Structure 1
Amino acid sequence: MTKNMEHQFSMLVREIRKEYVGNGPKEITTKFNGAWAISEMRGNLTNVEKFMIHSEQGKQMVHETRTRFVKEIYKKPEVLLKFENLMGAKVLRLFSDINIEEDIAMTVFVFDQPIEGK
């Protein structure tokens, strides 16, 4: 049952990223651990962003913009509600970062109760 929920969670992450960013990651893997949902996303950058990261200034700009933008998306009550309805738990906080060189992003959702085993 957990694998199915992890897959559903990953699909929800993809749907939200597509809706707000314009494209979703090529690969998403989500694992539940206690009250945490940890989503690893590969293949996040657009062609324009890939071009921009050829300079240090471009890397910094893409990293800062992506990180801030993703955090803003997850502040929206309607977005949080989708995750809370799926998991039957309230999202308390979120941590997000991206490694520009490897094109890997990680988002950790912290819920108010254990979600592992759901």
Structure 2
Amino acid sequence: MSELIQKLEQQFANLIRTYRKDQIGKGPEKIKVTFTRNWVIAHMSGCLSPVERFISRSEEGRNMIWHARTHMIKELYSELTPIDMENLVGAKFVKLFTDVDLEKDEVVSIFVFERSIDGTKNTFSI
């Protein structure tokens, strides 16, 4: 992997942390980002706040936190376009896929962009 791609992946991880901290109140403690064609795959851990961990002790609380950390975060990204991310990768943001494992406090998010961001040729469609 090129040094440039690694640097961009780290910068993207920093943008995720800042965006989530600003919009949700807490960013992830650890983030591993990988660029793959027109996707940015982010594996995050340490995302839940102490209040969310407390609420997730009940089934109803887990459902509420899961909904907030999946559906609501996707809505947030569609309403507040991550312009800094677009500028970094040089492509328009299209959508976000995300899921959370509350027991492990892990999130996997896939950021989809309109074109390849890793230097490969566009051989896909949206």
TM over 0.5: yes
Q: TM-score, normalised by structure 2?
A: 0.86
Q: Deviations over 1:30-71 (max 9, x none)?
A: 001111100111001111111111111111111012212211
- Out of 51, 57, 76, the residue aligned to residue 73 of structure 1 is 76
Contact kept? 1:67, 1:97, Cα under 8 Å: yes
Identity of aligned residues (%): 38
What residue identity is the alignment partner of 1:98?
A: V
Specify the alignment match of 1:50 in structure 2.
53
Structure 1 moving runs of 4+ over 4 Å:
none
User: Which consecutive unaligned segments of at least 5 residues does structure 2 have?
Assistant: 121-126
**Counterpart AA for 2:26:** N
Q: Does 2:54 correspond to 1:61?
A: no
The residue number in structure 2 matching 1:36 is 39
1:117: Cα distance to partner? 4.3
1:11 paired residue number: 14
Question: What TM-score do you get using the length of structure 1 for normalisation?
Answer: 0.92
Q: Which runs of 5+ in 1 are unaligned?
A: none
User: Structure 1, residues 70-106: CA drift from partner, whole Å, max 9, x if none?
Assistant: 11221134x3222111110111221111111111011
Q: What is the aligned residue count? A: 117
Higher relative contact order (CA 8 A, sep 6+): 1
| CA RMSD between the two structures | 1.5
Q: Is the 8 A contact 1:25 1:41 kept in 2?
A: yes
Could you tell me which residue of structure 2 aligns to residue 107 of structure 1? 109
1:52–1:59 CA contact under 8 A, matched in 2: yes
